[in-house]
């Protein structure tokens, strides 16, 4: 039996669910931090999601931490939209948005594309984790990583041809979500043509045409729940990642080159 959309389901130990946040801890401090990292969680079924209600519940705290699943954040105005994919490890602070108060007003929506679970890191959670600054440092790193990912997205969107953008964007997604299989790199991210269009700054019909061409050329294949990529990734993708990653952890993680093949 599934949970209704956006209903708080249970609690979890965040540092157990997301152990990378505790990489700076060891021994007894690590064990105590794991015990202190209890948080309420919320299960999100596929479909539209309004994060602003849950966001108000954690205002003054850290925010909403995605533990599992995939969420699309779409931002735009006047029929022009951009998008980003949010997944495990991403931190949201929905109350920190300008929206209609911005000089250039924009509209923001969220859609869950794969059943997700988020942790509500409220003020009490922040107080319990205060003795462990290593965790706070890791969360700041997550915010920086997200900004670097967006920088790579911007670089990809500057390619002239839509098929070039799509191939590079799917390889970019593979660095985070991809799995190497005997058939190719499987990217289990179920996004529509419209979502891909928002990701690569193109129109949906152009994306559909480009995907047909890439499929015909043997570069990719649509499979259940995502995409299968074939061949070598473009070399210039690594340069974009390196430039966006300067000074810290890579925008799309630290997976070796082989993981992208």
Of 193, 200, 191, 192, residue with least CA distance to 155? 200
At 20-30, the pLDDT tens digits run 999 999 999 99
Domains of the chain plus CATH, in order, are 7-131 (2.60.120), 155-260 (1.10.10.10)
Residue 258 has pLDDT above 70, yes or no: no
Q: Which among 8, 5, 10, 7 has a CA at the least distance from the CA of 45?
A: 5
- Mean pLDDT of all residues belonging to the chain: 85
Q: What is the pLDDT of residues 161-189, one digit of tens each?
A: 999 999 999 999 999 999 999 999 999 99
124 or 103: which leads in pLDDT: 124
β-pairing verdict for 184-187 and 179-181: antiparallel
Tokens (6 digits) for 239:
């340069």
Q: Quote the longest CA-to-CA distance of the chain.
A: 57
- CB neighbour list of residue 75: distance below 8 Å, 6 or more residues apart: 81, 82, 83, 106, 107, 108
pLDDT in tens, 236-249: 655 655 555 554 44
The angle that helices 133-157 and 235-244 make with each other, rounded to 10 degrees, is: 140
Rounded to 5, what percent of the chain is helix, strand, coil?
40, 25, 30
C-alpha to C-alpha distance for 217 and 236, rounded to whole angstroms: 20
User: 246 burial class (0-12, 13-18, 19+ CB within 10 angstroms)?
Assistant: exposed
What whole-number distance in Å separates Cα of residue 118 and Cα of residue 8?
A: 9
Torsion sign across C-alpha atoms 143, 149, 154, 155: positive
The tens digit of pLDDT for each residue in 31-86 reads 999 999 999 999 999 999 999 888 888 998 999 999 999 999 998 877 788 899 99
Could you read off the pLDDT of 5-43 as tens digits, one per residue?
Answer: 455 568 999 999 999 999 999 999 999 999 999 999 999
pLDDT band (50, 70, 90) for residue 255: very low
């Amino acid at each position: 039996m599934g949970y209704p959309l956006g209903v708080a389901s249970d609690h979890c130990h965040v540092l157990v669910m997301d152990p990378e946040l505790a990489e700076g801890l060891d021994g007894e401090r690590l064990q105590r931090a794991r015990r202190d990292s209890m948080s309420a969680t919320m299960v999100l079924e596929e479909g539209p999601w309004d994060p602003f209600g849950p966001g108000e519940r954690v205002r003054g705290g850290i925010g909403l931490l995605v533990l599992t699943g995939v969420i699309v954040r779409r931002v735009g105005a006047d029929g022009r939209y951009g998008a980003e994919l949010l997944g495990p490890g991403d931190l949201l602070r929905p109350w920190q948005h300008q929206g209609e108060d911005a000089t250039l007003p924009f509209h923001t929506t969220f859609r869950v594309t794969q059943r997700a679970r988020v942790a509500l890191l409220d003020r009490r959670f922040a107080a319990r984790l205060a003795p462990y600054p290593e965790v706070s440092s890791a969360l700041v790193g997550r915010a920086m990583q997200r900004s670097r990912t967006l920088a790579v997205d911007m670089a990809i969107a500057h390619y002239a041809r839509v098929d070039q953008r799509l191939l590079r964007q799917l390889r970019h997604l593979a660095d985070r979500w991809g799995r190497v299989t005997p058939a190719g790199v499987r990217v289990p991210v179920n996004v529509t043509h419209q979502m891909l269009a928002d990701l690569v700054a193109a129109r949906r019909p152009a994306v559909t045409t480009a995907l047909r061409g890439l499929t015909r050329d043997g570069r990719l294949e649509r499979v259940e729940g995502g995409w299968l990529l074939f061949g070598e990734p473009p070399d210039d993708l690594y340069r974009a990642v390196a430039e966006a990653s300067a000074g810290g952890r890579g925008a799309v993680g630290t997976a070796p080159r082989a993981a992208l093949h």
